[in-house]
Chains A and B, each alone.
Chain A
């Protein structure tokens, strides 16, 4: 499989718990992005990496959210002390490029439900 893989596909958690999602990008892609999508809306940018460097973070990304890409390959997104408002689809995407924008390949997402 040469696409973007996300794990798990679904996660139900109780409010206040921590959750961690994993994304495996297309192997030759140097850029990796995290977006969040709520029902009936377009994806919203959270953060992106070029290799292992986190280059941008949205102001939507509160201090409860942290993302890592330690070796420039897979990435993890952790949400601490989850709130009901965190319920959404978390999408990962990857692309190849160093300057400017390049077409993303999205994964199928991790659907988070906070109860």
Chain B
């Protein structure tokens, strides 16, 4: 079946450094790619998303890049802060669905002060 692979599963950085999380997807019909941040005991929170007609999108310290040919997309967080520590999930829309997102397994990001 369709899947989304996410790497790394854990990532530890020093405060102020950059963090990069990478995902690959298998469904060539995927056209929507959101990223979610999940803190302990809470639901996932949308932090940025990108559609297939765009190669890059930036929002303050967060950016996402998409390479449709290679079927991969990445999240870049610059100038990391301790409050960025959380689990991050990438997702890709599933085929012709307008409601089904396929999520990666998550990356636990730890930012050390």
Is the Cβ of B99 less than 8 Å from the Cβ of A56?
A: yes
Number of interface residues of B (CB under 8 A): 27
| Contact pick for A103, options B49, B103, B105, CB 8 Å | B49
Distance in angstroms between the alpha carbons of A91 and B41 in the assembled complex: 12
Point out the residues of chain A lying under 8 angstroms from B89, CB to CB: 42-43
| Contact pick for A101, options B4, B32, B42, B45, CB 8 Å | B32
Q: Mark each residue of chain A from 13 to 39: 1 if its CB lies under 8 Å from any CB of chain B, else 0.
A: 000000000000000000101000000
Is the Cβ of B32 less than 8 Å from the Cβ of A100?
A: yes
Q: Is B69 an interface residue (CB 8 A)?
A: no
Q: Is B60 an interface residue (CB 8 A)?
A: no
| Contact pick for B97, options A56, A105, A106, CB 8 Å | A56
Is the Cβ of B98 less than 8 Å from the Cβ of A45?
A: no
Point out the residues of chain A lying under 8 angstroms from B98, CB to CB: 55-56, 99-101
Is the Cβ of A41 less than 8 Å from the Cβ of B32?
A: no
A43 to chain B, nearest CB (A): 5
A29 to chain B, nearest CB (A): 13
Point out the residues of chain B lying under 8 angstroms from A101, CB to CB: 31-32, 34, 93, 98-99, 101
Distance in angstroms between the alpha carbons of A115 and B82 in the assembled complex: 37
Q: Is B55 an interface residue (CB 8 A)?
A: no
Is the Cβ of B105 less than 8 Å from the Cβ of A45?
A: no
Q: Mark each residue of chain A from 35 to 65: 1 if its CB lies under 8 Å from any CB of chain B, else 0.
A: 0000011111100101000011010000000
Distance in angstroms between the alpha carbons of A93 and B94 in the assembled complex: 17
With contact pairs A41-B106, A42-B89, A103-B34 given, residues A48 and B99 touching in the complex (Cβ less than 8 Å): yes
Residue of A at shortest CB range from B101? A45
Is the Cβ of B99 less than 8 Å from the Cβ of A40?
A: no
Residue of B at shortest CB range from A58? B100
Point out the residues of chain B lying under 8 angstroms from A103, CB to CB: 34, 46, 49
B2 to chain A, nearest CB (A): 11
Is the Cβ of A42 less than 8 Å from the Cβ of B99?
A: no
Point out the residues of chain B lying under 8 angstroms from A93, CB to CB: 43
Point out the residues of chain A lying under 8 angstroms from B103, CB to CB: 42-44
Give me the interface of A with B, judged by CB distance under 8 Å. 4, 31, 33, 40-45, 48, 50, 55-56, 58, 91, 93, 99-101, 103-109
